[in-house]
Chain A
Amino acid sequence: MFELLETLIQRPNFVVFVILFLWGIYIMSAHPNLVKKLIGLYIVQTSVIFFLVAFSAKDGATVPIILADSGLVDPMLYANPLPHALTVTAIVVQIATLGVSLALVSAIYRKFGSLDEDEILEQLK
Protein backbone atom coordinates (compact mmCIF):
# COMPACT_ATOMS: atom_id res chain seq x y z
CA MET A 1 0.00 0.00 0.00
CA PHE A 2 2.71 2.40 1.07
CA GLU A 3 4.81 1.43 -1.95
CA LEU A 4 1.90 2.10 -4.27
CA LEU A 5 1.43 5.51 -2.71
CA GLU A 6 5.10 6.20 -3.10
CA THR A 7 5.05 5.27 -6.81
CA LEU A 8 2.05 7.54 -7.30
CA ILE A 9 3.67 10.47 -5.55
CA GLN A 10 6.78 10.08 -7.67
CA ARG A 11 4.70 10.30 -10.86
CA PRO A 12 2.36 13.27 -10.39
CA ASN A 13 2.06 13.77 -14.17
CA PHE A 14 0.52 10.36 -14.72
CA VAL A 15 -1.80 10.75 -11.76
CA VAL A 16 -3.06 13.99 -13.30
CA PHE A 17 -3.49 12.21 -16.62
CA VAL A 18 -5.60 9.45 -15.06
CA ILE A 19 -7.76 11.95 -13.17
CA LEU A 20 -8.35 14.08 -16.28
CA PHE A 21 -9.09 11.03 -18.44
CA LEU A 22 -11.66 9.57 -16.03
CA TRP A 23 -13.16 12.98 -15.35
CA GLY A 24 -13.64 13.51 -19.09
CA ILE A 25 -15.34 10.13 -19.49
CA TYR A 26 -17.63 10.95 -16.56
CA ILE A 27 -18.66 14.30 -18.07
CA MET A 28 -19.19 12.68 -21.48
CA SER A 29 -21.49 10.01 -20.15
CA ALA A 30 -23.27 11.78 -17.31
CA HIS A 31 -24.24 15.21 -18.64
CA PRO A 32 -27.33 15.45 -20.82
CA ASN A 33 -26.20 18.74 -22.38
CA LEU A 34 -24.50 18.19 -25.75
CA VAL A 35 -21.98 21.01 -25.33
CA LYS A 36 -20.95 19.61 -21.94
CA LYS A 37 -20.51 16.20 -23.56
CA LEU A 38 -18.18 17.89 -26.03
CA ILE A 39 -16.25 19.48 -23.19
CA GLY A 40 -15.88 16.01 -21.66
CA LEU A 41 -14.57 14.65 -24.96
CA TYR A 42 -12.17 17.58 -25.20
CA ILE A 43 -10.85 16.83 -21.70
CA VAL A 44 -10.31 13.17 -22.64
CA GLN A 45 -8.39 14.15 -25.76
CA THR A 46 -6.36 16.75 -23.91
CA SER A 47 -5.48 14.26 -21.19
CA VAL A 48 -4.09 11.86 -23.80
CA ILE A 49 -2.02 14.69 -25.27
CA PHE A 50 -0.86 15.52 -21.76
CA PHE A 51 0.21 11.90 -21.39
CA LEU A 52 2.27 12.13 -24.60
CA VAL A 53 3.92 15.33 -23.36
CA ALA A 54 4.47 13.96 -19.86
CA PHE A 55 6.47 10.93 -20.88
CA SER A 56 8.64 12.90 -23.28
CA ALA A 57 9.61 15.60 -20.78
CA LYS A 58 13.29 15.73 -19.95
CA ASP A 59 15.03 17.93 -17.41
CA GLY A 60 17.52 20.41 -18.81
CA ALA A 61 17.32 19.18 -22.40
CA THR A 62 17.82 21.53 -25.33
CA VAL A 63 15.95 21.75 -28.61
CA PRO A 64 16.85 18.97 -31.05
CA ILE A 65 18.39 21.20 -33.71
CA ILE A 66 21.79 20.14 -34.96
CA LEU A 67 24.02 22.86 -36.37
CA ALA A 68 26.36 22.27 -39.30
CA ASP A 69 29.47 22.76 -37.17
CA SER A 70 28.37 20.92 -34.04
CA GLY A 71 30.03 17.64 -35.02
CA LEU A 72 29.05 14.52 -33.10
CA VAL A 73 26.21 15.15 -30.67
CA ASP A 74 25.27 13.44 -27.45
CA PRO A 75 21.61 12.40 -27.74
CA MET A 76 21.23 12.62 -23.95
CA LEU A 77 21.42 16.43 -24.18
CA TYR A 78 18.48 16.78 -26.52
CA ALA A 79 14.76 16.34 -26.09
CA ASN A 80 13.24 13.58 -28.26
CA PRO A 81 11.45 15.48 -31.04
CA LEU A 82 9.11 12.68 -32.11
CA PRO A 83 6.57 12.82 -29.23
CA HIS A 84 6.30 16.56 -29.80
CA ALA A 85 5.64 16.03 -33.48
CA LEU A 86 2.95 13.49 -32.53
CA THR A 87 1.47 15.95 -30.06
CA VAL A 88 1.22 18.75 -32.59
CA THR A 89 -0.49 16.46 -35.09
CA ALA A 90 -2.83 15.12 -32.42
CA ILE A 91 -3.77 18.68 -31.43
CA VAL A 92 -4.57 19.45 -35.08
CA VAL A 93 -6.81 16.37 -35.25
CA GLN A 94 -8.45 17.42 -31.99
CA ILE A 95 -9.18 20.92 -33.29
CA ALA A 96 -10.67 19.51 -36.49
CA THR A 97 -12.88 17.21 -34.40
CA LEU A 98 -13.96 20.16 -32.29
CA GLY A 99 -14.85 22.14 -35.42
CA VAL A 100 -16.98 19.35 -36.88
CA SER A 101 -18.66 18.67 -33.55
CA LEU A 102 -19.54 22.32 -32.94
CA ALA A 103 -20.98 22.52 -36.47
CA LEU A 104 -23.12 19.45 -35.70
CA VAL A 105 -24.23 20.87 -32.34
CA SER A 106 -25.27 24.17 -33.88
CA ALA A 107 -27.17 22.31 -36.62
CA ILE A 108 -28.90 20.21 -33.95
CA TYR A 109 -29.83 23.35 -32.03
CA ARG A 110 -31.31 24.99 -35.11
CA LYS A 111 -33.29 21.85 -35.94
CA PHE A 112 -34.53 20.79 -32.51
CA GLY A 113 -34.39 24.05 -30.55
CA SER A 114 -32.64 22.39 -27.63
CA LEU A 115 -29.27 21.12 -26.51
CA ASP A 116 -30.62 18.74 -23.89
CA GLU A 117 -30.25 15.13 -24.99
CA ASP A 118 -33.42 13.95 -23.27
CA GLU A 119 -35.55 16.63 -24.95
CA ILE A 120 -34.01 15.83 -28.34
CA LEU A 121 -34.60 12.08 -27.93
CA GLU A 122 -38.20 12.90 -26.96
CA GLN A 123 -38.62 14.73 -30.27
CA LEU A 124 -37.02 11.91 -32.26
CA LYS A 125 -39.72 9.42 -31.28
Chain B
Amino acid sequence: MSSNLPVLLFLVPFVMGVSMPLLTAKRRSWCPNITLGTFGVMLLLSIANLRVVLAQGSIEYAFGGWAAPIGIAWLNDSIAAIVVLIMSLVAVITQIYGRLDIAKDLEKSIPYYTLILIMVSGLVGVIFAADLFNVFVFLEVVALTGYALVGAAGGKGLVYAFRYLLLGSFGASLYLLGLGHLYVATGTLNMEDLAVRLPELMTSTAVAGGLIYIFLGLSIKMALIPLHSWLPDAYANAPSSVTPLLASTVTKVSLVAWIRIEYSIIAPGVEVSHVPVVVLLEELGVIAALIGGALALIQTNLKRMFAYGGISHIGLILIGVSLGNTTGFAGGMFYLINDAVMQASLFMIAGTLIYYHGVHTLEDLRGVGRQSPWLTGALVVAAVAMVGLPPTGGFFGKWNIILGALEAQHYLAAFTVVASTLLTLAYFLKIFSCWFHQPQHATSEPLVVSNALRFSLGAISFSMIALGLMSDTIFQFLIESITTGGV
Protein backbone atom coordinates (compact mmCIF):
# COMPACT_ATOMS: atom_id res chain seq x y z
CA MET B 1 0.00 0.00 0.00
CA SER B 2 2.60 2.53 1.07
CA SER B 3 4.72 1.89 -2.02
CA ASN B 4 1.74 2.70 -4.25
CA LEU B 5 1.24 6.17 -2.81
CA PRO B 6 2.69 8.09 -5.80
CA VAL B 7 0.31 6.37 -8.20
CA LEU B 8 -2.62 6.87 -5.82
CA LEU B 9 -1.75 10.57 -5.62
CA PHE B 10 -2.00 10.73 -9.39
CA LEU B 11 -5.09 8.55 -9.74
CA VAL B 12 -7.27 10.21 -7.10
CA PRO B 13 -7.60 13.58 -8.88
CA PHE B 14 -7.53 11.97 -12.32
CA VAL B 15 -10.35 9.50 -11.65
CA MET B 16 -12.41 12.12 -9.85
CA GLY B 17 -11.86 14.55 -12.71
CA VAL B 18 -12.94 12.08 -15.35
CA SER B 19 -15.95 10.86 -13.37
CA MET B 20 -17.05 14.38 -12.41
CA PRO B 21 -19.72 14.57 -15.15
CA LEU B 22 -21.18 11.24 -13.98
CA LEU B 23 -21.22 12.16 -10.32
CA THR B 24 -22.67 15.63 -10.67
CA ALA B 25 -24.90 15.46 -13.73
CA LYS B 26 -28.02 15.87 -11.61
CA ARG B 27 -26.54 17.72 -8.62
CA ARG B 28 -24.36 20.44 -9.98
CA SER B 29 -23.88 22.10 -6.62
CA TRP B 30 -21.73 19.13 -5.58
CA CYS B 31 -18.91 20.06 -7.97
CA PRO B 32 -16.94 22.39 -5.62
CA ASN B 33 -17.36 20.03 -2.68
CA ILE B 34 -16.16 17.00 -4.61
CA THR B 35 -13.14 18.97 -5.84
CA LEU B 36 -12.34 20.15 -2.34
CA GLY B 37 -12.78 16.62 -0.96
CA THR B 38 -10.42 15.22 -3.61
CA PHE B 39 -7.76 17.76 -2.72
CA GLY B 40 -8.27 16.94 0.95
CA VAL B 41 -7.67 13.24 0.24
CA MET B 42 -4.58 14.20 -1.77
CA LEU B 43 -3.28 16.23 1.16
CA LEU B 44 -3.65 13.23 3.49
CA LEU B 45 -2.02 10.90 0.95
CA SER B 46 0.89 13.28 0.43
CA ILE B 47 1.46 13.53 4.19
CA ALA B 48 1.52 9.73 4.31
CA ASN B 49 3.90 9.73 1.35
CA LEU B 50 6.22 12.17 3.11
CA ARG B 51 6.28 9.90 6.15
CA VAL B 52 7.16 6.93 3.95
CA VAL B 53 10.00 8.84 2.26
CA LEU B 54 11.24 10.09 5.64
CA ALA B 55 11.36 6.52 6.91
CA GLN B 56 12.72 4.72 3.83
CA GLY B 57 14.57 7.31 1.75
CA SER B 58 13.90 7.66 -1.97
CA ILE B 59 11.91 4.88 -3.60
CA GLU B 60 11.72 4.02 -7.26
CA TYR B 61 8.29 2.95 -8.46
CA ALA B 62 8.41 0.60 -11.44
CA PHE B 63 5.17 0.43 -13.42
CA GLY B 64 3.88 -3.09 -14.01
CA GLY B 65 6.91 -4.51 -12.22
CA TRP B 66 9.28 -3.72 -15.12
CA ALA B 67 12.41 -2.19 -13.64
CA ALA B 68 13.82 1.13 -14.79
CA PRO B 69 15.76 0.99 -18.06
CA ILE B 70 13.13 -1.19 -19.77
CA GLY B 71 9.97 -0.13 -17.99
CA ILE B 72 8.69 3.28 -16.93
CA ALA B 73 9.81 4.48 -13.52
CA TRP B 74 8.64 7.16 -11.12
CA LEU B 75 11.01 8.49 -8.52
CA ASN B 76 9.56 9.17 -5.09
CA ASP B 77 12.36 11.11 -3.40
CA SER B 78 12.43 13.95 -0.92
CA ILE B 79 12.02 16.65 -3.60
CA ALA B 80 8.94 14.95 -5.02
CA ALA B 81 7.45 14.20 -1.60
CA ILE B 82 7.75 17.74 -0.31
CA VAL B 83 6.70 19.50 -3.53
CA VAL B 84 3.62 17.27 -3.79
CA LEU B 85 2.75 18.02 -0.17
CA ILE B 86 3.00 21.79 -0.65
CA MET B 87 1.08 21.55 -3.91
CA SER B 88 -1.77 19.63 -2.30
CA LEU B 89 -1.85 22.16 0.55
CA VAL B 90 -2.03 25.06 -1.90
CA ALA B 91 -4.71 23.22 -3.89
CA VAL B 92 -6.89 22.78 -0.78
CA ILE B 93 -6.52 26.40 0.32
CA THR B 94 -7.05 27.89 -3.12
CA GLN B 95 -10.10 25.68 -3.63
CA ILE B 96 -11.64 26.95 -0.37
CA TYR B 97 -10.92 30.46 -1.58
CA GLY B 98 -12.04 29.73 -5.15
CA ARG B 99 -15.57 28.86 -4.03
CA LEU B 100 -16.13 32.43 -2.84
CA ASP B 101 -14.55 34.26 -5.68
CA ILE B 102 -15.96 32.28 -8.53
CA ALA B 103 -17.78 33.87 -11.47
CA LYS B 104 -21.48 33.07 -11.77
CA ASP B 105 -21.24 31.09 -14.98
CA LEU B 106 -18.36 28.95 -13.72
CA GLU B 107 -19.91 28.23 -10.33
CA LYS B 108 -21.76 25.12 -11.48
CA SER B 109 -19.71 24.35 -14.56
CA ILE B 110 -18.66 20.70 -14.65
CA PRO B 111 -15.86 21.20 -17.24
CA TYR B 112 -14.23 23.86 -15.06
CA TYR B 113 -13.83 21.52 -12.08
CA THR B 114 -12.85 18.61 -14.32
CA LEU B 115 -10.07 20.76 -15.78
CA ILE B 116 -8.79 21.76 -12.34
CA LEU B 117 -8.67 18.14 -11.16
CA ILE B 118 -6.96 16.86 -14.31
CA MET B 119 -4.45 19.70 -14.16
CA VAL B 120 -3.54 18.74 -10.59
CA SER B 121 -3.14 15.09 -11.60
CA GLY B 122 -0.80 16.21 -14.40
CA LEU B 123 1.23 18.23 -11.89
CA VAL B 124 1.66 15.14 -9.71
CA GLY B 125 2.81 13.24 -12.79
CA VAL B 126 5.49 15.81 -13.70
CA ILE B 127 6.81 15.85 -10.15
CA PHE B 128 7.20 12.08 -9.86
CA ALA B 129 8.21 11.18 -13.42
CA ALA B 130 11.79 9.95 -13.78
CA ASP B 131 11.57 9.53 -17.53
CA LEU B 132 11.93 12.34 -20.06
CA PHE B 133 8.98 11.29 -22.18
CA ASN B 134 6.70 10.92 -19.17
CA VAL B 135 7.64 14.44 -18.17
CA PHE B 136 6.65 15.62 -21.66
CA VAL B 137 3.25 13.93 -21.56
CA PHE B 138 2.37 15.22 -18.10
CA LEU B 139 3.64 18.72 -18.91
CA GLU B 140 1.26 18.70 -21.86
CA VAL B 141 -1.62 17.56 -19.63
CA VAL B 142 -0.87 20.49 -17.32
CA ALA B 143 -0.44 22.90 -20.21
CA LEU B 144 -3.61 21.93 -22.11
CA THR B 145 -5.79 22.23 -19.01
CA GLY B 146 -3.95 25.44 -18.15
CA TYR B 147 -4.78 27.00 -21.54
CA ALA B 148 -8.43 26.08 -21.09
CA LEU B 149 -8.54 27.44 -17.52
CA VAL B 150 -6.92 30.75 -18.52
CA GLY B 151 -9.57 31.15 -21.20
CA ALA B 152 -12.41 29.93 -18.95
CA ALA B 153 -13.51 33.44 -18.00
CA GLY B 154 -13.97 34.41 -21.66
CA GLY B 155 -13.42 37.97 -22.89
CA LYS B 156 -9.82 39.17 -23.01
CA GLY B 157 -8.67 35.96 -21.35
CA LEU B 158 -9.41 34.05 -24.57
CA VAL B 159 -6.87 36.00 -26.61
CA TYR B 160 -4.18 35.64 -23.96
CA ALA B 161 -4.99 31.96 -23.54
CA PHE B 162 -4.48 31.53 -27.28
CA ARG B 163 -1.13 33.30 -27.08
CA TYR B 164 -0.17 31.10 -24.14
CA LEU B 165 -1.17 28.07 -26.21
CA LEU B 166 0.97 29.06 -29.19
CA LEU B 167 4.06 29.67 -27.06
CA GLY B 168 3.46 26.73 -24.72
CA SER B 169 2.94 24.23 -27.54
CA PHE B 170 6.00 25.56 -29.33
CA GLY B 171 7.94 25.01 -26.11
CA ALA B 172 6.60 21.46 -25.94
CA SER B 173 7.73 20.84 -29.53
CA LEU B 174 11.22 22.04 -28.65
CA TYR B 175 11.24 19.74 -25.63
CA LEU B 176 10.19 16.79 -27.80
CA LEU B 177 12.90 17.65 -30.31
CA GLY B 178 15.54 17.73 -27.56
CA LEU B 179 14.28 14.45 -26.20
CA GLY B 180 14.62 12.92 -29.66
CA HIS B 181 18.25 14.11 -29.85
CA LEU B 182 19.06 12.56 -26.48
CA TYR B 183 17.37 9.31 -27.50
CA VAL B 184 19.36 9.13 -30.73
CA ALA B 185 22.60 9.68 -28.83
CA THR B 186 21.99 7.30 -25.93
CA GLY B 187 19.10 4.96 -26.73
CA THR B 188 17.36 5.60 -23.44
CA LEU B 189 14.96 8.12 -21.92
CA ASN B 190 15.18 7.12 -18.28
CA MET B 191 16.93 9.89 -16.32
CA GLU B 192 18.97 7.55 -14.16
CA ASP B 193 20.10 5.60 -17.22
CA LEU B 194 20.89 8.83 -19.07
CA ALA B 195 23.00 9.99 -16.13
CA VAL B 196 25.13 6.87 -16.57
CA ARG B 197 25.51 7.11 -20.35
CA LEU B 198 25.72 10.85 -20.97
CA PRO B 199 28.93 12.00 -19.25
CA GLU B 200 31.16 10.38 -21.86
CA LEU B 201 28.99 11.75 -24.68
CA MET B 202 28.99 15.35 -23.49
CA THR B 203 31.26 16.47 -26.33
CA SER B 204 28.72 15.31 -28.92
CA THR B 205 26.79 18.15 -30.55
CA ALA B 206 23.64 16.02 -30.63
CA VAL B 207 23.64 15.78 -26.83
CA ALA B 208 24.46 19.46 -26.37
CA GLY B 209 21.78 20.43 -28.88
CA GLY B 210 19.25 18.13 -27.23
CA LEU B 211 19.88 19.61 -23.80
CA ILE B 212 19.61 23.15 -25.19
CA TYR B 213 16.28 22.34 -26.87
CA ILE B 214 14.98 20.80 -23.66
CA PHE B 215 16.06 23.82 -21.65
CA LEU B 216 14.50 26.24 -24.15
CA GLY B 217 11.24 24.31 -24.16
CA LEU B 218 11.08 24.20 -20.38
CA SER B 219 12.07 27.84 -20.00
CA ILE B 220 9.04 28.86 -22.06
CA LYS B 221 6.92 26.79 -19.67
CA MET B 222 8.60 28.16 -16.54
CA ALA B 223 8.41 31.74 -17.90
CA LEU B 224 12.13 32.42 -17.65
CA ILE B 225 12.93 35.90 -18.96
CA PRO B 226 13.09 36.63 -21.95
CA LEU B 227 10.55 33.85 -22.70
CA HIS B 228 8.05 35.06 -20.12
CA SER B 229 5.78 37.20 -22.28
CA TRP B 230 2.76 34.89 -22.12
CA LEU B 231 2.54 34.84 -18.34
CA PRO B 232 1.52 38.32 -17.05
CA ASP B 233 -1.35 38.79 -19.49
CA ALA B 234 -2.58 35.22 -19.08
CA TYR B 235 -2.67 35.42 -15.28
CA ALA B 236 -4.07 38.94 -15.19
CA ASN B 237 -7.07 37.84 -17.27
CA ALA B 238 -7.62 34.29 -16.01
CA PRO B 239 -10.59 33.75 -13.66
CA SER B 240 -9.60 34.96 -10.18
CA SER B 241 -10.79 31.74 -8.59
CA VAL B 242 -8.14 29.64 -10.32
CA THR B 243 -5.26 32.10 -10.79
CA PRO B 244 -3.72 31.36 -7.36
CA LEU B 245 -3.48 27.66 -8.22
CA LEU B 246 -2.10 28.33 -11.73
CA ALA B 247 0.42 30.90 -10.53
CA SER B 248 1.70 28.82 -7.68
CA THR B 249 2.05 25.51 -9.48
CA VAL B 250 2.43 25.53 -13.28
CA THR B 251 5.73 27.44 -13.65
CA LYS B 252 7.20 25.91 -10.49
CA VAL B 253 6.51 22.37 -11.64
CA SER B 254 8.21 23.00 -15.00
CA LEU B 255 11.17 24.28 -13.01
CA VAL B 256 11.12 21.12 -10.86
CA ALA B 257 11.24 19.08 -14.08
CA TRP B 258 14.27 21.07 -15.23
CA ILE B 259 15.98 20.72 -11.83
CA ARG B 260 15.56 16.95 -12.03
CA ILE B 261 17.07 16.90 -15.51
CA GLU B 262 19.85 19.28 -14.52
CA TYR B 263 20.75 17.28 -11.44
CA SER B 264 20.55 13.87 -12.98
CA ILE B 265 22.18 14.67 -16.31
CA ILE B 266 24.42 17.73 -16.25
CA ALA B 267 27.36 17.08 -13.99
CA PRO B 268 28.75 20.24 -12.36
CA GLY B 269 32.01 19.92 -14.25
CA VAL B 270 30.55 19.98 -17.77
CA GLU B 271 31.93 22.91 -19.74
CA VAL B 272 31.15 24.73 -22.97
CA SER B 273 34.35 26.39 -24.19
CA HIS B 274 35.77 26.60 -20.66
CA VAL B 275 32.60 27.97 -19.07
CA PRO B 276 30.76 25.46 -16.86
CA VAL B 277 27.18 24.95 -18.05
CA VAL B 278 25.73 25.53 -14.59
CA VAL B 279 27.34 28.99 -14.51
CA LEU B 280 25.56 29.86 -17.76
CA LEU B 281 22.27 28.79 -16.17
CA GLU B 282 23.08 30.88 -13.14
CA GLU B 283 23.67 33.96 -15.32
CA LEU B 284 20.30 33.40 -16.99
CA GLY B 285 18.81 33.32 -13.49
CA VAL B 286 20.59 36.60 -12.65
CA ILE B 287 19.09 38.28 -15.73
CA ALA B 288 15.61 36.93 -14.96
CA ALA B 289 15.71 37.96 -11.30
CA LEU B 290 16.83 41.53 -11.99
CA ILE B 291 14.69 42.27 -15.05
CA GLY B 292 11.64 40.58 -13.51
CA GLY B 293 11.95 42.70 -10.37
CA ALA B 294 12.40 45.88 -12.39
CA LEU B 295 9.39 45.09 -14.58
CA ALA B 296 7.28 44.40 -11.48
CA LEU B 297 8.21 47.83 -10.15
CA ILE B 298 6.80 49.68 -13.18
CA GLN B 299 3.45 47.85 -13.30
CA THR B 300 0.26 49.59 -12.23
CA ASN B 301 -2.07 46.59 -12.41
CA LEU B 302 -1.81 44.56 -9.19
CA LYS B 303 -2.14 41.11 -10.75
CA ARG B 304 0.49 41.93 -13.37
CA MET B 305 2.80 43.25 -10.65
CA PHE B 306 2.51 40.01 -8.69
CA ALA B 307 3.00 37.99 -11.88
CA TYR B 308 6.28 39.78 -12.61
CA GLY B 309 7.28 39.21 -8.97
CA GLY B 310 6.83 35.49 -9.59
CA ILE B 311 8.88 35.70 -12.79
CA SER B 312 11.78 37.29 -10.93
CA HIS B 313 11.58 34.53 -8.31
CA ILE B 314 11.97 31.88 -11.01
CA GLY B 315 15.33 33.54 -11.70
CA LEU B 316 16.29 33.42 -8.02
CA ILE B 317 15.46 29.73 -7.79
CA LEU B 318 17.47 29.00 -10.93
CA ILE B 319 20.45 30.83 -9.40
CA GLY B 320 20.15 28.78 -6.22
CA VAL B 321 19.98 25.37 -7.87
CA SER B 322 22.77 26.17 -10.37
CA LEU B 323 25.41 27.17 -7.85
CA GLY B 324 26.75 23.63 -7.78
CA ASN B 325 26.80 23.23 -3.99
CA THR B 326 24.32 21.73 -1.56
CA THR B 327 23.71 24.97 0.34
CA GLY B 328 22.62 26.77 -2.79
CA PHE B 329 20.57 23.81 -3.97
CA ALA B 330 18.72 23.51 -0.66
CA GLY B 331 18.14 27.28 -0.67
CA GLY B 332 16.80 27.24 -4.22
CA MET B 333 14.50 24.26 -3.68
CA PHE B 334 13.26 25.70 -0.41
CA TYR B 335 12.61 29.01 -2.13
CA LEU B 336 10.66 27.17 -4.82
CA ILE B 337 8.38 25.67 -2.18
CA ASN B 338 7.97 29.06 -0.53
CA ASP B 339 7.32 30.76 -3.82
CA ALA B 340 4.43 28.37 -4.51
CA VAL B 341 2.80 29.43 -1.24
CA MET B 342 3.60 33.14 -1.69
CA GLN B 343 2.22 33.31 -5.22
CA ALA B 344 -0.98 31.60 -4.08
CA SER B 345 -1.32 34.11 -1.25
CA LEU B 346 -0.67 37.17 -3.46
CA PHE B 347 -3.13 36.14 -6.14
CA MET B 348 -5.73 35.30 -3.50
CA ILE B 349 -5.31 38.82 -2.12
CA ALA B 350 -5.51 40.34 -5.59
CA GLY B 351 -8.63 38.27 -6.37
CA THR B 352 -10.30 39.29 -3.10
CA LEU B 353 -9.54 42.94 -3.82
CA ILE B 354 -11.26 42.68 -7.19
CA TYR B 355 -14.19 40.78 -5.71
CA TYR B 356 -14.93 42.97 -2.68
CA HIS B 357 -13.52 46.35 -3.65
CA GLY B 358 -13.38 46.30 -7.44
CA VAL B 359 -9.68 47.16 -7.21
CA HIS B 360 -7.58 46.40 -10.30
CA THR B 361 -4.81 48.99 -10.23
CA LEU B 362 -2.65 50.69 -7.64
CA GLU B 363 -4.68 53.90 -8.04
CA ASP B 364 -7.88 52.13 -6.93
CA LEU B 365 -6.16 50.84 -3.81
CA ARG B 366 -6.34 54.08 -1.86
CA GLY B 367 -7.90 53.64 1.54
CA VAL B 368 -8.68 49.93 1.21
CA GLY B 369 -6.49 49.20 4.24
CA ARG B 370 -8.96 50.79 6.64
CA GLN B 371 -11.84 48.62 5.49
CA SER B 372 -10.26 45.18 5.52
CA PRO B 373 -8.11 44.25 8.51
CA TRP B 374 -7.90 40.60 7.38
CA LEU B 375 -6.65 41.49 3.95
CA THR B 376 -4.15 43.91 5.46
CA GLY B 377 -2.80 41.20 7.73
CA ALA B 378 -2.48 38.70 4.88
CA LEU B 379 -0.81 41.27 2.64
CA VAL B 380 1.68 42.24 5.36
CA VAL B 381 2.67 38.60 5.90
CA ALA B 382 2.93 38.01 2.14
CA ALA B 383 5.04 41.16 1.75
CA VAL B 384 7.36 40.13 4.58
CA ALA B 385 7.78 36.73 2.93
CA MET B 386 8.31 38.17 -0.57
CA VAL B 387 10.89 40.68 0.66
CA GLY B 388 12.45 37.92 2.73
CA LEU B 389 12.46 38.83 6.40
CA PRO B 390 12.53 36.27 9.20
CA PRO B 391 10.57 34.36 10.44
CA THR B 392 8.97 33.65 7.06
CA GLY B 393 10.33 31.00 4.71
CA GLY B 394 11.40 33.60 2.13
CA PHE B 395 14.24 34.74 4.37
CA PHE B 396 15.78 31.31 4.89
CA GLY B 397 15.58 30.48 1.19
CA LYS B 398 17.32 33.69 0.11
CA TRP B 399 19.84 33.42 2.98
CA ASN B 400 20.91 29.97 1.83
CA ILE B 401 21.13 31.05 -1.80
CA ILE B 402 23.44 33.90 -0.73
CA LEU B 403 25.50 31.56 1.45
CA GLY B 404 25.76 29.12 -1.46
CA ALA B 405 26.83 31.93 -3.81
CA LEU B 406 29.53 33.07 -1.38
CA GLU B 407 30.67 29.49 -0.96
CA ALA B 408 30.99 29.15 -4.73
CA GLN B 409 32.54 32.65 -4.88
CA HIS B 410 29.94 33.86 -7.36
CA TYR B 411 29.56 37.38 -6.06
CA LEU B 412 27.31 38.51 -8.90
CA ALA B 413 24.75 35.89 -7.83
CA ALA B 414 24.92 37.03 -4.21
CA PHE B 415 24.53 40.65 -5.32
CA THR B 416 21.52 39.72 -7.47
CA VAL B 417 19.68 38.14 -4.56
CA VAL B 418 20.17 41.32 -2.52
CA ALA B 419 19.26 43.59 -5.45
CA SER B 420 16.10 41.64 -6.23
CA THR B 421 15.18 41.87 -2.54
CA LEU B 422 15.47 45.64 -2.76
CA LEU B 423 13.34 45.70 -5.93
CA THR B 424 10.71 43.58 -4.16
CA LEU B 425 10.78 45.95 -1.21
CA ALA B 426 10.34 48.87 -3.60
CA TYR B 427 7.22 47.54 -5.25
CA PHE B 428 5.66 46.52 -1.97
CA LEU B 429 6.33 50.04 -0.65
CA LYS B 430 4.40 51.31 -3.68
CA ILE B 431 1.50 49.04 -2.75
CA PHE B 432 1.53 49.97 0.93
CA SER B 433 1.76 53.69 0.28
CA CYS B 434 -1.53 53.41 -1.60
CA TRP B 435 -2.98 50.84 0.79
CA PHE B 436 -2.75 53.04 3.89
CA HIS B 437 -3.42 56.22 1.99
CA GLN B 438 -6.23 58.50 3.19
CA PRO B 439 -9.32 57.46 1.19
CA GLN B 440 -10.65 60.03 -1.21
CA HIS B 441 -14.23 59.72 -0.03
CA ALA B 442 -15.62 59.09 3.46
CA THR B 443 -14.69 55.65 4.81
CA SER B 444 -17.45 53.11 4.86
CA GLU B 445 -17.85 50.50 7.59
CA PRO B 446 -15.33 47.63 7.68
CA LEU B 447 -16.39 44.98 5.20
CA VAL B 448 -17.85 41.75 6.50
CA VAL B 449 -15.82 38.95 4.97
CA SER B 450 -16.92 35.35 5.18
CA ASN B 451 -15.28 32.88 7.54
CA ALA B 452 -14.07 30.72 4.66
CA LEU B 453 -12.13 33.64 3.21
CA ARG B 454 -10.67 34.42 6.63
CA PHE B 455 -9.69 30.78 6.97
CA SER B 456 -7.99 30.56 3.58
CA LEU B 457 -6.09 33.84 4.02
CA GLY B 458 -5.13 32.85 7.57
CA ALA B 459 -4.04 29.35 6.54
CA ILE B 460 -1.85 30.55 3.68
CA SER B 461 -0.21 33.23 5.87
CA PHE B 462 0.32 30.69 8.61
CA SER B 463 1.97 28.24 6.20
CA MET B 464 4.45 30.92 5.07
CA ILE B 465 5.54 31.42 8.69
CA ALA B 466 5.44 27.70 9.46
CA LEU B 467 7.75 27.01 6.50
CA GLY B 468 10.19 29.53 7.94
CA LEU B 469 10.08 27.94 11.38
CA MET B 470 10.64 24.45 9.98
CA SER B 471 13.29 25.56 7.49
CA ASP B 472 16.16 23.70 9.13
CA THR B 473 14.42 20.32 9.01
CA ILE B 474 13.38 20.87 5.41
CA PHE B 475 16.93 21.83 4.39
CA GLN B 476 18.31 18.62 5.88
CA PHE B 477 15.62 16.63 4.13
CA LEU B 478 16.24 18.27 0.73
CA ILE B 479 20.01 17.85 0.94
CA GLU B 480 19.54 14.12 1.56
CA SER B 481 17.93 13.75 -1.84
CA ILE B 482 20.92 15.08 -3.75
CA THR B 483 23.49 13.20 -1.76
CA THR B 484 21.62 9.99 -2.48
CA GLY B 485 20.60 11.11 -5.97
CA GLY B 486 24.16 11.06 -7.28
CA VAL B 487 25.44 14.57 -8.03
Contact = CB atoms under 8 A, between A and B. Distances in A.
- Chains A and B come from one and the same complex: yes
Interface of A: 21, 25, 28, 34, 37-38, 41, 44-45, 48, 51-52, 55, 82-83, 86, 89-90, 93, 96-97, 100-101, 103-105, 107-108, 111-112, 120-121, 124
Nearest to A37: B166
Nearest to A52: B180
Q: Taking chain B's interface residues, is the majority helix, strand, or loop, or is none over half, making it mixed?
A: helix
Nearest to A93: B140
A55 B180 contact: yes
A94 B144 CA distance: 10
Interface string B167-203: 0011011001101100110000100000000000000
B165 A97 contact: yes
B62 interface: no
B304 to A, nearest CB: 14
A121 B158 CA distance: 12
17 contacts: A41-B169, A41-B173, A48-B173, A48-B176, A48-B177, A86-B133, A93-B140, A96-B144, A97-B140, A97-B169, A101-B166, A104-B147, A104-B161, A104-B162, A112-B159, A121-B159, A124-B156
A111 B158 contact: yes
Interface in B186-229: 189
Given A101-B169, A107-B158, 11 more contacts: A44-B173, A51-B177, A51-B180, A86-B133, A89-B133, A93-B172, A96-B140, A100-B148, A101-B165, A104-B162, A108-B162
Nearest to A55: B184
Nearest to B174: A48
Contacts of B165: 97, 100-101, 104
Contacts of B179: 86
Contacts of A21: 177
B408 interface: no
B155 interface: yes
Contact of B158 (A37, A51, A96, A108): A108
B446 interface: no
A112 to B, nearest CB: 8
